[in-house]
Structure 1
């Protein structure tokens, strides 16, 4: 995105959302690129203590895996049952928590062994998942984010996401970074920065040139995968069926 472009001029026509002109336009630069399994239908991505973890989807192909960042090689993997569709993923106090799409089932694993420890239920669909150290934050493809109590797994708060006064639908993969919620919008190459107190979109990052749509082998190969390395500030992004995973640095454009 060009520096200084008014955010109000950026309109995502496919979902009818005009983004608020009070939010800054963000630029990015690629600082590294790594191999990524092109058969992985990426649904959730996290980077914890130097290790990359990924949740993949599709019935009969869903998995939880630990991946070597440098080579893209799957180091450890557990396959989900054929009737489960893997979705969002978080690390929580020595456990990995994975959502499923329409099965209303969350699965909790031992983070080291991938041993399945317990499951829990939730209403509606499961899409993206992140946390703010107090609550699990969950998307379901609508304009609403749900905050769950990690102990009871009950919804304690609902947050409507808005660009100005207009709802932003298809919220998908999530990542909590420096006090803000970052969300990928399904079938879009945009990342949105969302204020967790108000639900307002405070910035947009256009990644359409990162892996141009014309170079992708499938219409399903959309952006979906955000992982933040808290130790270094690195941000990793990839997508479904993408052959590469990128490290980017986000920059705020000069006025």
Structure 2
């Protein structure tokens, strides 16, 4: 199983939409590839955030009918052979009189190794269709399955750092209660600043990130916190050991000359 297949299954798992076979494949793949855990956390976090922020609504019956009609059109393995083996010729039991028997769902053969495109596609489409059904039934509105599978790049970077064996972090708390935490990992070559409580800025201002190396500030991108002052921002460029990660307030779009125009409002020492 490749990582893309696993990401699909992680969404289905978060929505409780996997078949028994896919759930088993998901668990086996996760056990064999623990570094894929960020897909699990991403799907779970997205589902939790969406369900907490949107009031459930009942989808129109036509939506449900249309969705399951599409699912029924997906390729299915023939059950003729298994039926003939289960009930050998000559069995005179009156099954019609006995009433309808429960129908066992079809189960596919599971492999956690590399799969062909033709073998993985039916499972992926079933997983995504089932996930979409759950999204509609739970009233998640306009949120799509692709949004669940693909969290923001800054969140992905943070999880990769946290999963790295050399992950490091440092925090600072400002007098107004703002908390800024720098996360970095030399092996991933990434650094991320996470903030909580950053004050809102005027429309013509933005926060800009800097690596301060000795006495030299190096621009590392801009970011905009949400209404609560929270942000997860990837620093652009290479961090060196001992750099101070700083934030200044600059004109919208960033410093026009590539140097800070104000004193830092945040400075996180990494050494």
Structure showing greater relative contact order (alpha-carbon pairs closer than 8 Å, 6 or more residues apart): 1
The TM-score bracket by the shorter chain reads under 0.3
User: How high is the TM-score relative to the length of structure 1?
Assistant: 0.21
Structure with bigger strand share is 1
User: How high is the TM-score relative to the length of structure 2?
Assistant: 0.20
Structure with bigger helix share is 2
Q: Which structure: larger Rg? A: 2
